[in-house]
Structures are given as structure tokens and as C-alpha cells.
């Protein structure tokens, strides 16, 4: 009996094709806008070190907060220090695979080795992501209600040429959701998610939500520190709106850590608030340096230690 040929992984091929196209587009943008890039690098070199040190300290705090969220949500007791080590390791793994898939696998493996079944580990990881999303949306809604002027000025400054793209994306999304196959997948996802949430205690969910709010605020403070280091006068609400835009664009781009998408969102957000292209580019570069590139080496070291201790 002849062996069947393995079917190609179309999803992987699509992701690879998109990543290659994004890489080509990035090289082209850098080449055609090199003067702006050079000006951004010059502005970054003149940033205030004290504010950047504060941003680095806050970045270290994000690992402590993220580990606390997992300890709260875990269905079996987790020790805090080993969980923090795994969180640091995820800073390296997440840079290798797109859309946080590396971190999902690492956390799932860690939970499995800490007496969680595969189903229980999936529940904890899924709810962790849900809580993070809910916390960000809650802060965004509160900003919309309490500070509508900040959002209005942001929307008003966005170039009119970007609106056709936004409307087109919305139409494509609505058409996609209207297809039966996508609706079925969304329905199954929501059913599994609700089933996961029901398995957790309300107190644990509320504590995790509070910690997730603190985590989002901490990342916003990192970006705020970066803007202050460059002499920008944006307030915390404006910085949070720019941060939210960067989160949206990074999620939409299927690259490790939202590479390219996050930078584009940060740059567009700062320019929309009236900052110069050089300052906007410098802020995007410094923020991503602190939150994406610098944690790579400590993350690799943490991963090696976690593997030696058989945590993952």
C-alpha cells in the first residue's frame, strides 16, 4: 500500500508568505525613508538616560506581574519564583514564533509539568489571554468615557487617506464573519472560552483582572517614560491611546512579537498627536528596544535555567 503524501500546511505557508512580504515592505520603507530613520536615530541618541532607566525597571516589573497572574489563575498551586523565571523565558520564545504562539506553548508545558492536565493548562492559558484583553478594553472604554477630548483630537488628526483602508478592513472583517465556516469557528471558540471561565473561581478572575489592569498600565508607563526621555509633552492618556493603536496593529500582523506592526502603530499614533516624524520614530525605536530586543538575552538565559531545572 502506497504511503500518502503529507498535506501541506496552508496556514503555515500563508504566514510565511505574509512575513516575507512584510520583510520586503519594511526594507523598502527603510530605504525610501532613510532620512527619517536617520533623524530618529539621532533623536534617540540624545534621549535622557534617567527616563530610560525608569522604563527598564518598569519592564522588569512586567515579568513579576505576569507571573502573579498565572499564579492566581492556576488550578494547582504554582510557586512564584519559578513562574517568574518561565515568564522571563517567554520573552525569548515569543520572539521566535508569531502572535505569542511560543509563549502559549511554553506556559502550557510549564503548567502541564506542575500537575495540570492538558485541558486544565489550556483553560489557564486561554483565560489569561482573555483577562488581558478584557483589561485593555476596560481601560480603553474608561478613557473614552472620561477623556473623550483626547480620543477626538487623535481621530481628528489622523490623515483622511487612512479612513478608506479602515473602512475596507471593516468590510472585509464583516464579510469574513458572515461566512458559515468562520461563524462556526467563532462559535466553538466562544463555547470553549466560556467553559474555561466557568472552571475558575470568581475571586481568582477578579484578582487576575486587577493584575492585568496593572500590567497594561505598566506598559503604558514604559512608553510614557520613553516619550519623556525624548522631551515629548504627551500626557498619560494620550500615550495610552498610542499604545492601544500599537497593540492593535501588532496583533493584526502575523510576525513574532508583532514586529513591524507595533512600530508602525506607534509611529502613526505619535504623528497623529502632532509629534515630528523624527521624534515619533525615535520613540518607537526606543520602546521596542526596551520591550522587545533587550529582553532577548535575559530570556534566553532564563530559558536555559528553566530547562535545567526541568520547569519546561
Q: Which of 299, 272, 233 is nearest to 92 (CA)?
A: 299
Evaluate whether residue 63 is within a structural domain: yes
139 domain residue, yes or no: yes
The SS3 assignment for 304 reads helix
By CB atoms closer than 10 A (0-12, 13-18, 19+), residue 279 is buried
pLDDT tens digits, 283-301: 999 999 999 988 989 999 9
- pLDDT digit string (tens) for 201-255? 788 889 999 999 999 999 999 999 999 999 999 999 999 999 999 998 887 766 6
8 falls within a domain: no
Residue 10, domain member (yes or no): no
Helix residue ranges per DSSP H, the chain: 10-32, 34-45, 49-73, 80-93, 101-113, 118-146, 148-157, 162-178, 180-198, 202-229, 236-252, 261-272, 277-288, 296-308
Report if residue 12 sits inside a domain.
no
Residue pair 286/47 in contact (Cβ under 8 Å)? The answer is yes
**Residue 98, SS3?**
strand
- Domain assignment of residue 144, yes or no: yes
- pLDDT, tens digit, 9 for 90 and up, residues 53-94: 999 999 999 999 999 999 999 989 999 999 999 999 998 887
Q: Is the pLDDT of residue 163 over 50?
A: no
Angle between helices 261-272 and 236-252 (to 10 degrees): 150
Q: pTM higher than 0.85, yes or no?
A: no
Domain assignment of residue 36, yes or no: no
pLDDT tens, 108-117? 899 999 988 8
291, part of any domain: yes
**Mean pLDDT rounded to a whole number for the chain:** 79
The CA distance from 285 to 294, in Å, is 12
Q: Which three cell numbers stand for residue 157?
A: 488628526
Q: Which domain holds residue 140?
A: 47-308
Q: Provide φ and ψ at 311, rounded to 5°.
A: -80, -30
In the chain, the number of structural domains is 1
Cβ-count burial of 161 within 10 angstroms (0-12 exposed, 13-18 middle, 19+ buried)?
exposed
Amino acid at each position: 500500500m502506497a504511503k500518502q503524501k503529507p498535506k501541506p500546511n496552508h496556514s503555515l505557508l500563508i504566514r510565511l508568505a505574509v512575513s516575507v512580504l512584510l520583510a520586503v515592505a519594511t526594507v523598502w520603507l527603510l530605504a525610501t525613508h532613510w532620512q527619517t530613520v536617520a533623524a530618529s536615530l539621532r533623536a534617540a541618541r540624545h534621549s535622557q538616560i534617567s527616563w530610560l532607566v525608569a522604563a527598564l525597571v518598569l519592564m522588569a516589573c512586567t515579568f513579576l506581574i505576569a507571573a502573579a497572574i498565572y499564579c492566581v489563575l492556576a488550578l494547582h498551586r504554582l510557586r512564584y519564583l519559578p513562574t517568574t523565571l518561565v515568564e522571563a523565558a517567554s520573552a525569548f520564545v515569543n520572539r521566535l514564533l508569531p502572535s505569542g504562539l511560543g509563549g502559549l506553548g511554553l506556559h502550557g508545558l510549564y503548567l502541564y509539568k506542575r500537575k495540570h492536565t492538558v485541558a486544565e493548562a489550556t483553560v489557564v492559558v486561554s483565560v489569561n489571554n482573555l483577562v488581558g484583553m478584557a483589561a485593555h478594553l476596560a481601560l480603553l472604554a474608561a478613557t473614552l468615557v472620561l477623556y473623550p477630548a483626547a480620543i477626538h483630537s487623535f481621530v481628528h488628526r489622523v490623515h483622511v487617506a487612512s479612513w478608506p483602508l479602515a473602512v475596507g478592513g471593516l468590510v472585509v472583517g464583516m464579510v469574513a464573519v458572515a461566512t458559515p465556516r468562520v461563524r462556526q469557528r467563532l462559535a466553538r471558540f466562544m463555547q470553549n472560552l466560556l467553559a474555561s471561565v466557568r472552571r475558575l473561581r470568581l475571586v481568582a478572575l477578579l484578582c487576575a483582572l486587577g493584575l492585568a489592569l496593572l500590567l497594561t498600565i505598566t506598559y503604558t508607563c514604559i512608553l510614557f517614560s520613553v516619550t519623556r526621555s525624548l522631551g515629548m509633552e504627551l500626557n498619560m492618556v494620550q500615550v495610552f491611546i498610542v499604545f492601544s493603536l500599537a497593540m492593535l496593529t501588532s496583533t493584526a500582523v502575523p510576525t513574532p512579537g508583532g514586529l513591524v506592526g507595533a512600530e508602525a502603530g506607534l509611529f502613526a499614533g505619535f504623528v497623529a498627536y502632532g509629534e515630528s516624524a523624527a521624534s515619533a520614530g525615535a520613540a518607537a525605536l526606543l520602546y521596542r528596544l526596551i520591550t522587545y530586543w533587550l529582553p532577548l538575552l535575559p530570556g534566553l538565559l532564563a530559558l536555559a535555567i528553566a530547562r535545567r531545572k526541568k520547569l519546561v
